[in-house]
A and B are shown apart, each in its own frame.
Chain A
């Protein structure tokens, strides 16, 4: 690997701790950015709303009902958010299991993104729990509901967060200049990756399996015993589209962090990912066709829900698939970005369809999220981006590792 000089590795050996902390906490970028101007009022309002929610109960700010007990916070924050975090297990699979070196420059940022997504979106789950202080019951104590899919998902969230933290930890060690710790932590990476991919396979599908028992409540076009498999397959292109999308923003916002070599190599990475997205989208639409034919769902197509189903399948699965194929063939980087956005919209629509829109679709009063629920969701999202930015500016995430850490791998 070439030793790039665009960023001087920060080796903190010998620096006094207090001075180090002060220099770390100080803002490293501009304060009056458009993102800050928008996100600060949202976060402030969101925190007020969260306080109200804990004082007065969930009903005070949400539109949840006795018939629709899971709304936007579960359907979007947790179930969609985790699908987008799927990039981490796909990229680590390619780099550490298939040993494709090409994707190495994006491993750290993807793992960090995945880790933060789990921390924040699973963390958002606490807002939705009626008795969040009992959240430890399935982990410690004697209340193991082992027959529950949610039990599996809860454990997997916890274990996967640990696995991703281990995968990311060499970056923390490099930042702190802890050479010995880095050696030990890097040595654990492969184990964490294997464990992490296994966990991801199970809980990405497990999130779909949560809805297995809601058989009569979900419109037949979206309910099938294959939801877990569909959720798993779609997490691959959901995660990778997120990686493409996030990468295209990071390339601009954090351009000072990225070495020239990696900036040049980024397009190649993006094209590789777009090819994988195109093929997984193809597998996904094929699975949907199998489910559709197998379930004899023709009769539903004439209804309003049927039209909506076609919009999802054609507009947000087939169209992005074709866009990805074209962009790969023509090496059109802007088209890749457009494809990733359309794909992500499609994943959001699909997850919301299963969890909210097609859930109790025939009920007289339909659940629509309140503006407070939306603001809290945006708050969680904004804080996550703040933390992400804070870490990227300080840790060797996008920039090259310090020279002392380059000998292995």
Chain B
């Protein structure tokens, strides 16, 4: 009996550890901090498709210089990859001609990638940008599996591969500078600010020019809200933006499972030990039977 009691205490101890580590389910910064998330508003009606943002991004992040022959063309979809963190794509419209759209990390309010990351390499800063930290990452690519926008890219051809994605120029932002793409945009299609200001600004633009804008802000509710916000003259799906994404944040999909973990850790050992003691005499009976 002494053995069982000790095992029972051991199980209780383990349960305690499990409970201790089981808190903090969402990958959002601590509450109580008054810092507001920064974000970027992209206005497709202003964008001229000049690719200044692509060039500025490459320069700021030490990426290979963009190929001048590779420019936005209706019919071809250019994708971000390990060598470019942002791209401009073009879509043909009957009345409006070519419409452009910028693609990069959406910097979700509650990012799937950060809650997927088991080393906190992918991290939602309290300022808003979602960053990736080289020293912590083990290259498991669970962030890529989880991201609803397929944003994180992996250097498949490197022995020490990095995860590559837009980090909203976090170092520049911390130093009070604008993200490189925002600073270099000649058409003022990109606006940097707190998310709240940007939503107010986007609403104001729609309100003042209801004819030039589709009535909606992409990213206001998608995936629980994103730091990058989009204004467009046409419905967003016509610009290749995924409008079928859920409005709740993606980490919420894990809640049911993660919440069941502590209860199983408490209940299972107790139940198992109980069954063991209840059936203890069976073994003797079984042997007699044979």
Contact = CB atoms under 8 A, between A and B. Distances in A.
A345 interface: no
B226 interface: no
Given A130-B161, A194-B7, A213 B120 contact: no
B156 A101 contact: no
B279 to A, nearest CB: 4
Nearest to A360: B150
A191 B155 contact: no
Contact of A134 (B6, B119, B150, B283): B119
B280 A99 contact: yes
Given A201-B268, A212-B257, A150 B116 contact: yes
A211 interface: yes
Nearest to A205: B257
B226 to A, nearest CB: 15
B3 A131 contact: no
A98 interface: yes
Interface in B208-257: 242, 244-246, 250-251, 253-254, 256-257
Contact of B272 (A97, A138, A225): A97
A147 interface: yes
Contacts of A109: none
Contacts of A57: 155-159, 161
Interface string A198-227: 100110011001111111110000000100
A282 interface: no
A99 B276 contact: yes
Contact of A138 (B23, B114, B118, B150): B118
Contacts of B146: 213-214
13 contacts: A57-B161, A62-B156, A66-B144, A99-B282, A130-B139, A131-B138, A131-B139, A131-B160, A134-B139, A137-B121, A143-B121, A190-B7, A216-B148
Interface of B: 3-4, 6-7, 10-11, 14, 21-27, 79, 81, 112, 114-121, 135-142, 144-146, 148, 150, 153-161, 163, 242, 244-246, 250-251, 253-254, 256-258, 261, 264-265, 268-269, 272-273, 275-276, 279-280, 282-283, 286-287
Given A190-B276, A206-B257, A214-B145, 12 more contacts: A56-B159, A57-B161, A66-B144, A134-B137, A134-B138, A146-B22, A149-B258, A152-B258, A191-B11, A195-B11, A212-B253, A213-B254
